[in-house]
Amino acid sequence: MSSWTITKWELKNTLHNRKFILIFFLQLVVLLMMVLFFSSFMEGIESEEGISLTPSLNQFASLDIYDPQNILINQLNPEILEINSNKIDIALNRLEGGDVTGVLILPSSDDFNLEEIKPVPVNLYIDYEDPKRSVIKDEVSTAQNKASSLISERWINDLTPQQEVSQPQIQEETQGEALPLQLINKVMTAVLLFLPLFLFGNLIVDSIVGEKERKTGEILIAMPLSRSNIILGKSMAVIITMALQVALWMVLMILAGYSIENPGLVYLIVVTTALPIVGLTSIIAAFSKNYKEAGIGITFAYVAIIGFLIVPALAYISQQGRYVSASTMTLAIKVFSGEPLSPGDIIVPFTSLLLISLISYYISIWLFKRDDIVFGPRPGILRLLFEFATLNKVVNYFKK
């Protein structure tokens, strides 16, 4: 018997489980939903002012305005502000009653002639009891800049005939993709690609901790099969399931219009990342007494792994790839964006992947080989660390 036999058993069990199949396909539905919502989200964050990651906040703050000469009213953003045109006394009463956060009062044509070069007196009443006051101030300030440009232009044209005005023109050129867009396009695509690797922790826990809880571990160990083959066989079955889900996931993403260059290579990177993740999950599963304990362990381990993958990717996006990253997520971003790769870009993440995989499988096999871990009573973590570092042998040597 080899580890492949265990892999086949585990796969057969998993794929014959109707509830698993249902959840497997529901995960694909979730992805489809994420893709659909993601597209509408992308449309939502692109505005005239550029890319913004703030919530859409439809008519978040309210402002009453008295602007008989239409100086400012057309420059205010009706998407953020609920704008009501009202008479001064009504507007001020509404402010007092808490119906609005701000009131903007501009002069009528009887009080002020816009043709004269004189500052236009504007009164802005803001209710400081309302935290949305900063939104009102900011929106009014933006509208003020727009209106000021128009008024200045009008006054300048009145001062000088248009043909004589020689105004230096500004030619603005931007380079590179906007940071928020990169974060969404690249990091979100990478997160979607790597997500299946974190959805099958339960499988590993069930196949290792489940044996302990169901008391079938003894039978498994009594079989003509080494314990390392059991761990490797079970891990392989989960990696194959993950690989299948990643493949379906990628097909869906490509069909939904995601731009993924070098899909074969990207697939390989994501699937090889599954090796250390399953290895680390196996350590937790081998050590845990029950599902609950494994659940906590996996939660913390996955937070750490996600951090290890995503933080260098974010650093890469903000630093524009000045440094080589140990995270395979960064490598995947570079590959699916079609960016040039240096040898370091490939060697460093794959070396760390290999090292973590070797260490994690070694530890999980070492734990699973110990009867006290599998059948109990389980030693404490410190004692295990002590023994793992073979310090106990050194102590015993000196005792002798």
Partner 1 sequence: MKLLALFKKEAKDILSNKIYLLVVFVQLLIILGAYGLAITSSVVTDPELLDEWGGSATIKVGLPQNLQGSPLEESLKNQDLTLMYFPDVETGLKEVGREVVALVYISNEEGDIGLQIDNTNVFYPVARDKINTALDYYQLEEILSSRRLSTEEINIIQNPLDINEIKINKESASPLALDSSYFVEIMYGFIVPFILLLPFFLASNIVTDSVVGEKERKTFEVLLMTPLSGPMVIAGKILPILLFSLIQSGAWIMLLYFLQVPVYNPLLLMVLLFFVGLGFIGMGVLISMLVDSTKEANSAVTLLLFFATFVLFLPLFMNIPALSGILNTIPTVIIVRMSSGPYLNPLWILEFLPSVFVSLAIFALSIFYFKQEGAIRL
CB of 359 to partner 1, least distance (A): 26
Give the chain's radius of gyration (CA, Å).
32
For 382, the token pair is 């410190």
Residue 115 or 371 having the CB closest to partner 1: 115
CB of 115 to partner 1, least distance (A): 12
How many other C-beta atoms can be found within 10 angstroms of the C-beta atom of residue 66? Answer: 20
CA angle 276, 279, 280 (to 5 degrees): 90
Residue 130 · residue 112 · CB < 8 Å? no
Residue 179 or 223 having the CB closest to partner 1: 179
CB of 157 to partner 1, least distance (A): 10
Q: Which residues lie closer than 8 Å to 341 by C-beta, 6 or more apart?
A: 331, 334, 335
CB of 310 to partner 1, least distance (A): 14
CA angle 163, 169, 171 (to 5 degrees): 150
The DSSP element (H or E) to which 63 belongs, if any, is: strand 61-66
Residue 202 or 325 having the CB closest to partner 1: 202
d(CA 281, CA 219): 23
Residue 123 · residue 92 · CB < 8 Å? no
Residue 237 or 269 having the CB closest to partner 1: 237
Residue 170 or 222 having the CB closest to partner 1: 170
Half-sphere exposure of 30 (CA within 13 A, CB side): 11
Query: Largest alpha-carbon pair distance within the chain?
Result: 106
CB of 301 to partner 1, least distance (A): 14
Residue 120 or 191 having the CB closest to partner 1: 120
CB of 305 to partner 1, least distance (A): 16
